[in-house]
Chains A and B, each alone.
Chain A
Amino acid sequence: MTKKIMEASHAIAEAVKMAKPAVIAAYPITPQTHIVEKLSEFVADGETEAEYIRVESEFGAISACLGASATGVRSYTATCSQGLALMNEVLFIVSGMRLPVCMTVVNRALSAPINIWNDQQDSISARDVGWIQMYAETSQECYDLTLMQFKISEDHRVLTPSMVCLDGFTLSHVYEPVDIPSQKKVDEFLPDYVPYHAILDPEQPLTLGPIGFPSEYMELRKSQVDAIENSIKVIEQVYKEFNESFPVQIKDSRPEEYLHVEEYRMEGADIVLIAMGSVCGTIKVVVDKLREKGEKVGLLKLITYRPFPRETIKKALKGIKKVAVLEKAVSPGGDGPMYCEISSIFYDEKEKPGLRNFIIGLGGRDVTFDRIRKIYSMTKGDKGEKQEWVF
């Protein structure tokens, strides 16, 4: 085990290296580049045995991962924004074929206007592609979730690809202390890949990716949806196993225990802010300050976003009076994507919190202490519209 000050992107590259994928296929895009450059160095220096395919596009990257995974090996890619959008068609195909491809998404805004800075519109727009999604707040979480994603995706009860999402620049390019466990411990946690799914093998010829007629399609879709729904339990188990194998080494670098959500100072809270990703670090500081002043406020940080941990969230928000959903993505012409999902959890409940929706940090707009304080006071004082943009 070593503690290193490292860039979150490098923590991810390190985790990928230690997860020993056989095939890496990726295409550079800001702000994902530091991950793939580091992985290229590892390959160049012989620190990983992985075959690195320098594809001609993100569409090529995800397709090569599909091919590799279908041949029965662990495969990995990383992208964001325009790159993720370009992959979109194949994202559905990979999950529909139940191939456990793993990907990092370094969240970045989408064009137009072209913008390389952070928001989460890219992965949120890809929430319906049938991939598991987890969001990291810190560099340590980036490392940890990357290791965990392979174990989760490859579990025979899951066989569903996954994305670990981290905010571009505000997390990807930040240096923080990270605890890197030994390769031996990683190997124990994540053994060599043994494919549990159908693979391309001349000794056992199988047809993968056939045409499904109306008479079969719905059943196949249902089994895919069931798998991702059921993965919620497997993800819990993997979190638990990780917590046991890798207890916290660096204080505050990650939650004491990985769960679908992290509850921060929610004891006795009247008002809770909900958010995902690096902004939670900023929110925690504001919550601390407000608590010092006697405000009853807490933060609910979502780590697992797909499958959506409805029950966990419902339980966590029980008795809370007001909830502010902060999101770095919009659904033009509709309500905030996460806001909708939180509301739907409570629709049938007698007791439900008042819900507010705050759109924050689009295209890299800073989310400052002041802005979070403003969100808190607007929520507390019932000021403003149901959906507020925090410019």
Chain B
Amino acid sequence: MAILGLPEEEYFSYGHRACAGCGAAIALRLITKAAGRNSILVEPTGCMEVISTPYPETAWKLPWVHGAFENPASIASGICAALKVKGREDVNVVAFGGDGSTYDIGFGHLSGAFERGHNFAYICYDNEAYMNTGIQRSGSTPYGAATTTSPAGKKSIGKEVWKKDLVHVLAYHGSPYVATASIGYPTDAYKKIKKAIETKGPTFVNILATCPTGWRTPTEKSVEIAKLAVETGVFPLYEIVDGRHSINMPKDASRLKPVEDYLKAQGRFRHLFKPERNDKAIKYIEERVKENLHRLTQCAEKCF
């Protein structure tokens, strides 16, 4: 299906093996459309690598390389250096990885590459857990979500700590462009990814990508739920350009939908409502969402 206003050319072709309703696969389409033909793609181990390259088949119509789970940012560094020596700095280097690779095991590499200032864009397709290995928690898994390594139980509400704020961590590396996006808003996401690719230096976009299998959501609702994450303020959309924040979603909390709507729509939060409603946890989530939005709004007014 074509998305209005975006290039029609597909570089991530059909026939790949992603699950029905895979939000990350939508993200990949947007990434490749934004990157265009003159690009080299780097991807770590994870769902999207596995579903797209069953040797000898491939879904990639662009040059693409996978090394390990940890190192896409370092591989991209080597590619940037090689392109420089070859006089081919016109080529876009775009790395993209899951949240497990990006937030956790590959974080040191990412930090190093951002400090060194290579000219590449890093896109995290954030499905909020290690999905490839069967829905284990990551540093990006939200508070209260049940995963196979943070299951809900008599003594557990699921993941017991808040999602890591990697976007700001990378912004504070001095990146000229970091942003959040959601597959619920493909045009916005496309524009941001394109901006990241076109901005010189190391840039970052964290794109929320529904995983129906891991989030326990109906496959046909992936886009809707990714929208709801934004509409409820749980996953705010913003850009930080040269250190300046701008928020591109309703800033006024009163115009947001209730956080509960988002939580209730997903099986991974079901234990917060059944068999009994966990008021304390739900309140805590609502408070933190509000606080986070407030902080962001202040940043947008005062910069960081």
CB-contacts of A31-65 with B (<8 A): 49-51, 53-57, 59-61, 63-65
Quick check: A64 and B78 within 8 Å, CB to CB?
yes
Quick check: A208 and B66 within 8 Å, CB to CB?
yes
Cβ of A61 to closest chain B Cβ, rounded Å? 8
> Could you write out 24 A-B pairs with CB less than 8 Å apart?
A54-B116, A56-B108, A57-B109, A57-B112, A59-B74, A60-B74, A63-B68, A63-B70, A64-B74, A64-B75, A68-B81, A69-B78, A70-B79, A71-B40, A73-B85, A200-B64, A202-B38, A205-B64, A206-B64, A207-B58, A207-B65, A211-B55, A213-B55, A216-B55
Quick check: A202 and B116 within 8 Å, CB to CB?
no
Chain A residues whose C-beta falls within 8 Å of the C-beta of B58 in the assembled complex = 207, 210
Number of interface residues of B (CB under 8 A): 42
A-B contact count (CB 8 A): 158
Number of interface residues of A (CB under 8 A): 45
Chain A residues whose C-beta falls within 8 Å of the C-beta of B79 in the assembled complex = 67-68, 70-71, 200
Q: Mark A91-126, 1 if CB is under 8 A from B, else 0.
A: 001000100000000000000000000000000000
A142 at the interface (CB under 8 A from B): no
Quick check: A66 and B39 within 8 Å, CB to CB?
no
Chain B residues whose C-beta falls within 8 Å of the C-beta of A61 in the assembled complex = 74
Contact among A51, A89, A208 for B68, CB-based, below 8 A: A89
Q: Mark A191-205, 1 if CB is under 8 A from B, else 0.
A: 000000000111011
Closest 9 CB pairs of A and B: A67-B78, A56-B112, A210-B53, A63-B74, A64-B78, A71-B82, A63-B71, A67-B75, A209-B66
Q: Which residue of A lies closest to B112 (CB)?
A: A56
Q: Mark A161-191, 1 if CB is under 8 A from B, else 0.
A: 0000000000000000000000000000000
Q: Which residue of B lies closest to A201 (CB)?
A: B63
Q: Which residue of B lies closest to A199 (CB)?
A: B63
Quick check: B81 and A23 within 8 Å, CB to CB?
yes
Chain B residues whose C-beta falls within 8 Å of the C-beta of A207 in the assembled complex = 53, 58, 60, 63-65
Contact among A59, A73, A93 for B82, CB-based, below 8 A: A73
Complex Cα spacing A100 to B78, Å: 14
A212 at the interface (CB under 8 A from B): yes
A90 at the interface (CB under 8 A from B): yes
Known contacts A60-B112, A63-B71; is-contact A210 B78 (Cβ 8 Å): no
Chain A residues whose C-beta falls within 8 Å of the C-beta of B82 in the assembled complex = 22-23, 51, 67-69, 71-73, 75
Known contacts A23-B78, A63-B75, A210-B58; is-contact A53 B64 (Cβ 8 Å): no
Known contacts A72-B82, A90-B71; is-contact A202 B54 (Cβ 8 Å): no
Q: Report whether over half of chain A's contact residues are helix, strand or loop; otherwise say mixed.
A: mixed
Quick check: A63 and B81 within 8 Å, CB to CB?
no
Chain B residues whose C-beta falls within 8 Å of the C-beta of A64 in the assembled complex = 74-75, 77-78, 81
Chain B residues whose C-beta falls within 8 Å of the C-beta of A67 in the assembled complex = 42, 65, 67, 74-79, 81-82
Quick check: B63 and A53 within 8 Å, CB to CB?
no
CB-contacts of B73-100 with A (<8 A): 74-79, 81-86, 91
List 18 additional A-B contacts (Cβ < 8 Å) besides A67-B81, A202-B62.
A23-B81, A25-B77, A25-B78, A54-B116, A55-B77, A57-B109, A60-B108, A64-B81, A66-B67, A66-B75, A67-B74, A67-B75, A68-B81, A200-B79, A205-B62, A207-B60, A211-B50, A216-B55
